[in-house]
Amino acid sequence: MTETLPDRLSVNPQSPHYNEELLKKDVGVRFNGVEKNNVEEYCVSEGWIKVAAGKTLDRRGNPMTIMLKGKVEPYFRTPESAA
């Protein structure tokens, strides 16, 4: 059974787009053809990702993020059959 990735996904547990089960399956994101390892949130339909801006934190202790626009391609890093 192949599972498709959602249009929007976040690594922040307080976000309504957080999905722990999917994140355990090791989701990767290619942005404009380049694999990104520091993606905090993505949206395929709107074509943006949010990445951490260095080590800077906001007043709630969450990383400060920058929104980048471009082609977003989420994928599973490991095949589901290998799990």
CA distances from 29 to 42, 48, 60, 74 (A): 8, 11, 26, 4
pLDDT at position 80 is 57
- Environment class of 31 (CB within 10 Å of its CB; exposed 0-12, middle 13-18, buried 19+): buried
| pLDDT of the residue at 4 | 85
**Overall number of domains in the chain:** 1
* Residue range(s) defining the domain that contains residue 50: 17-76
Judge whether 12 lies within some domain: no
Confirm whether 35 is domain-assigned: yes
Residue 45 lies in a domain: yes
For the chain, list residues with pLDDT below 70: 1-2, 79-83
Residue 53 lies in a domain: yes
Residue 42 resides in a domain? yes
In a domain, 61, yes or no: yes
pLDDT number for residue 1 = 40
